[in-house]
């Protein structure tokens, strides 16, 4: 079993990591997927599948729910109102576009995430993020 606190500690280790598209190296560079991949490696071990190469506009270009489908393959879906610390949050920037941003909940009110142009940061999940929350997922084997 994995403790939620262990996931939060792992996510916070990445704070300050510079943004780098497609990267997943703590203190070197990562994007939002790279952050989640790194936290997975920290708490679960080897990644369950290799991330394919992707462009910054992959979601718009493909029009497919690629990230949502991958999350369903490896995490346990939750109601968006039921997420807790240590859960993965998936965001949709526009109603008509696929979900394409991830964060790790560090509490019911905050998350760690990587966003273009800034380092990995812990931010409030305020109205801006809450209205864009498309899905929430728990790590497999997480202890409640």
51 in any annotated domain? no
User: What is the average pLDDT across 3-29?
Assistant: 97
Query: How much is the pTM?
Result: 0.94
Q: What is the CATH number of the domain that holds 82?
A: 3.90.1720.10
Which of 86, 94, 104 shows the shortest CA–CA distance to 134? 94
53 in any annotated domain? no
Please list, in sequence order, all residues whose beta carbon lies within 8 angstroms of the beta carbon of residue 14, skipping any fewer than 6 positions away: 26, 27, 30, 35, 38, 39, 112, 114, 120
40 in any annotated domain? yes
71 in any annotated domain? yes
100 in any annotated domain? yes
* Residue span of the structural domain in which 10 resides: 2-46+63-143
DSSP 97: S
74 in any annotated domain? yes
Q: What is the mean pLDDT of the chain?
A: 93
55 in any annotated domain? no
93 in any annotated domain? yes
Query: d(Cα 16, Cα 48) in Å, to the nearest integer?
Result: 26
pLDDT band at 61 (very low <50, low <70, confident <90, very high): low
If one counts the domains in the chain, the total is 1
Query: d(Cα 54, Cα 57) in Å, to the nearest integer?
Result: 8
Q: What is the pLDDT of residues 78-124, one digit of tens each?
A: 999 999 999 999 999 988 888 989 999 999 999 999 999 899 999 99
pLDDT band at 143 (very low <50, low <70, confident <90, very high): confident
């Amino acid at each position: 079993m994995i403790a939620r606190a262990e996931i939060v500690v792992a996510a916070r280790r990445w704070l300050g990591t510079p943004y780098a598209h497609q990267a997943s190296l703590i203190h070197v560079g990562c994007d939002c997927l790279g952050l989640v991949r790194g936290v997975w490696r920290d708490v679960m071990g080897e990644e369950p599948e290799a991330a394919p190469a992707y462009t910054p506009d992959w979601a718009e270009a493909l029009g497919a729910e690629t990230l949502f489908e991958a999350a369903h393959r490896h995490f346990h879906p939750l109601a968006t109102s039921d997420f807790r610390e240590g859960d993965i949050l998936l965001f949709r920037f526009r109603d008509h576009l696929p979900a394409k941003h991830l964060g790790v909940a560090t509490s019911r009110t905050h998350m760690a995430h990587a966003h273009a142009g800034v380092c990995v940061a812990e931010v409030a999940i305020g109205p801006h993020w809450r209205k864009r929350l498309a899905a929430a997922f728990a790590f497999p084997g997480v202890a409640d």
